[in-house]
Amino acid sequence: MSVLKTACVQISAGLDDAANLARLEAMIGEAVAGGARFVALPEYCGCYGMAEGRLEVGAVAEAEHASLKALRDRAAAHAIWLLIGSLGVRAPDGRIANRSFLVNPEGAVAARYDKIHLFDVDLAGGESYRESADVAPGDRAVLADLDGTGLGLSICYDLRFARLYRSLAKAGASILSVPAAFTRKTGRAHWHVLLRARAIETGSFVVAPAQCGDAPDGRLQRYGHSLIVAPWGEVLADAGPEEGVVMAELDLARVIEARRMVPALRHDRPFTGPEAALSSLAAE
C-alpha cells in the first residue's frame, strides 16, 4: 500500500449509546463514500459524560459490548480498516480499561491497546480531572499491522509522553494514532503543537480523531479539531470545532523521505542521566 485514504470522524458523544452509534455509523458511511479505506473514531466514542459526579463511559465486558459488535459489523460491511478510538471495557476485577481497537476489513479485531497514561490533572480555575479514579492503566505499547503498514496505537493523554511515540516509530510505525477527548482549555494551548511535534520528531503520519462539544452536564468541554498531520509536520486536515468528517491521503513514501532527510530515529546515543550529576555534586 503506497497511498492510504484516511478519515477522522469527529463526534460529540453523550450518554445515549444508541444515539452515538447511529451518528458514528452515518459518518463512517460518509467517509467510505469519500473513498476512505482507513477510518478513525475518537476516544470514548460510544458513550462519554458524567453521571452522579463520576465519569460514565458505558463500560461492559468486551464480549458483551454492543457498540464494539456494531462497529465491527460496520467495518466488515464497508470492507475498511476501522480504528475504534476507545470504548470503556469492564475488566474482571471491576475496573475499567480505556481500550482502543483496530478492526480489519473482515470485522475481526486486529489489535487492542489499553491507555497507559491517565489524565489526573488540576487546571487553572478549579477544573480538575481524575481518570485514575475509574480507569486502570495499561502497561504495554502496541504496534499494529494495518495491511502491511505499522500503526502505533495511543490514546489522548499519551500524547504528552514523547518516548512512547519514539518507541513505536523505532519499532516500525509509519502512522501514529491519537484518538482523544482533549479538554478545550488544554486543547487550545497544546493540541496542534503536540501532534505536530510527534509527527516531526518521528517522521510519521499522525491521525488524531477527537471529540468535540460539551458533554450533557456541561462539565466536559471538548476541543475537537481532529487532525491528520504529515511526517514533515504540516496539517493535512483539521475538523474544526463541530461534528463531521475530514479526510486526507497518506502517501507513505513521505515517511521514508522525512526520515531520510532527518534520520533522528537512528541518532540516539547513550548518556548519563542527571541523577548521576546530582549525586556527584552532593558528594563534593
State the chain's mean pLDDT as an integer.
92
123-168 per-position pLDDT tens digit: 666 555 667 668 889 999 999 999 999 999 999 999 999 999 999 9
pTM exceeding the 0.85 threshold for the entire prediction: yes
| Confidence grade of residue 279 (pLDDT, cut at 50, 70, 90) | low
| Confidence grade of residue 218 (pLDDT, cut at 50, 70, 90) | low
| Domain count within the chain | 1
| Confidence grade of residue 119 (pLDDT, cut at 50, 70, 90) | confident
The closest of 47, 44, 35, 104 to 74, measured between CA atoms, is 104
pLDDT of the residue at 125: 65
Least confident range of 12-21, 32-41, 115-124, 202-211? 115-124
> Is the pLDDT confidence value at 14 over 90?
yes
In the chain, DSSP finds a helix count (H) and a strand count (E) of: 7, 18
Name the packing angle between helices 17-33 and 66-78 (round to 10°). 10
* Length of the chain in terms of residues written: 284
Q: Report helix, strand or coil for 189.
A: helix
pLDDT of the residue at 57: 92
> Is the pLDDT confidence value at 28 over 80?
yes
| pLDDT (average), residues 202-217 | 92
pLDDT of the residue at 124: 61
Least confident range of 89-103, 198-212, 249-263? 89-103
55-97 per-position pLDDT tens digit: 899 999 999 999 999 999 999 999 999 999 999 999 888 889 9
> Is the pLDDT confidence value at 276 over 70?
no
The C-alpha cell 477522522 sits at: 8
CATH number of domain containing 215: 3.60.110.10
| CA distance to 78, 132, 141, 226, per residue, from 164 (Å) | 32, 19, 7, 21
Name beta bridge partners: 143.
Answer: 152
Active-site residue list: 43, 115, 156
| Structural domain of 142 | 3-283
